[in-house]
């Protein structure tokens, strides 16, 4: 399906309108950015070589392991548990955004609570989708790396370099394709209550006919994210530099880290919400579902809105 420029403008304008008029969605977006927005080193601290920092950290870890191996194991296990927990909460937040958008016009006094409940209910299916995507990605990586390793083992380094270049391009294309399939499969799970494997198959069929359109939307959202990043850097950098020149007190250091952590976290959280609303709206267009609206609707029209996704999904399955 080929979309017109006006339809892309509609997708972006609708996403902007939704995040302006439904600010409760921001919380889900902020949770989605957890782990991806990392504060940089403070400007009032001396810069050090990253390689020397890594070497020093590794030496410290080895010394600690030699003296307290059980402590290191517990620390690693705790870190992995935290990472897994943040990852699961981020998946639930994504489901919460999609569910909240699906029921955007319904009268709900607790949209955050309802969204989180739907997000955690979809968590198991989302994890299956993630596992399938990662499994396919690992198999593709192994198949692409096998000839390279074979060439290097036979001292054919020049040929291995050439093959590596092509393999890297192919692998990036596979990653891009799988990221689209994952997003569409998650949307099918939320809108149609499909099984994960079934949603992946339908998502692949949808992407097969809309790859260029999906790529264009990704390009538009990437440009927007880049522009926002530049603006955030222009605004935050002078403030941080002024804090750095103000002195090295504990209060200044605290303000510096709060600025680096909370500022980008909030801004990019809202941006993540905007991007997910855009993908939701785009999905409705290419999957021939009724686009999301945020105007008031009558109570009689709500059941009809709920039934639309299932009918469209059934039509897609019959086409397969």
DSSP 209-233: HHHHHHHHHHHHHHHHHHHHHHHHH
For the record, the structure tokens of 64 come out as 């600690």
**Is the pLDDT at 310 greater than 50, yes or no?**
no
Full-model pTM: 0.76
Domain count, the chain: 1
For residue range 124-170, what is the model confidence (pLDDT) as tens digits? 999 999 999 999 999 999 999 998 888 888 888 888 888 899 999 99
Distance CA 208, CA 230 (A): 34
Give me the domain span that covers residue 20: 5-319
Per-residue pLDDT at 166: 92
Identify the band that residue 221 occupies on the pLDDT scale cut at 50, 70 and 90.
very high
Residue 45: CB atoms within 10 Å: 11
Identify the band that residue 64 occupies on the pLDDT scale cut at 50, 70 and 90.
confident
Identify the band that residue 313 occupies on the pLDDT scale cut at 50, 70 and 90.
very low
For residue range 179-208, what is the model confidence (pLDDT) as tens digits? 999 999 999 998 877 889 989 999 999 999
Identify the band that residue 245 occupies on the pLDDT scale cut at 50, 70 and 90.
low
């Amino acid at each position: 399906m080929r979309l017109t420029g006006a339809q892309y403008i509609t997708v972006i304008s609708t996403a902007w309108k939704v995040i302006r008029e439904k600010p409760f969605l921001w919380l889900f977006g902020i949770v989605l950015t957890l782990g991806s927005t990392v504060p940089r080193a403070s400007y009032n601290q001396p810069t050090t070589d990253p390689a020397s920092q890594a070497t020093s950290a590794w030496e410290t870890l080895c010394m600690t392991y030699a003296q307290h191996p059980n402590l290191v194991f517990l620390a690693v296990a705790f870190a992995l548990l935290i990472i897994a927990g943040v990852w699961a909460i981020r998946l639930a937040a994504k489901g919460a955004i999609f569910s909240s958008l699906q029921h955007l016009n319904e009268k709900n006094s607790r949209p955050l609570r309802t969204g989180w409940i739907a997000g955690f209910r979809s968590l198991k299916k989302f994890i299956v989708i993630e596992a399938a995507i990662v499994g396919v990605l690992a198999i593709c990586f192994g198949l692409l790396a096998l000839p390279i390793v074979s060439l290097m083992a036979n001292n054919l380094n020049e040929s291995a370099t050439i093959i590596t270049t092509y393999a890297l391009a192919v692998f990036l294309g596979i990653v891009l394709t799988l990221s689209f399939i994952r997003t569409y499969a998650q949307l099918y799970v939320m809108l149609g209550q499909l099984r994960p494997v079934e949603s992946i198959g339908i998502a692949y069929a949808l992407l097969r006919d809309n790859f260029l359109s999906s790529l264009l939307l990704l390009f538009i959202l990437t440009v927007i994210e880049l522009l926002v990043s530049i603006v955030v850097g222009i605004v935050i950098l002078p403030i941080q530099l002024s804090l750095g020149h103000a002195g090295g007190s504990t209060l200044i250091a605290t303000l510096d880290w709060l600025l680096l952590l909370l500022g980008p976290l909030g801004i990019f959280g809202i941006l993540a919400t905007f991007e997910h609303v855009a993908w939701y709206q785009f999905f409705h267009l290419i999957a021939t579902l009724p686009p999301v609206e945020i105007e008031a609707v009558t109570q009689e029209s709500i059941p009809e809105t709920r039934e639309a996704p299932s009918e469209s999904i059934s039509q897609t399955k019959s086409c397969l």
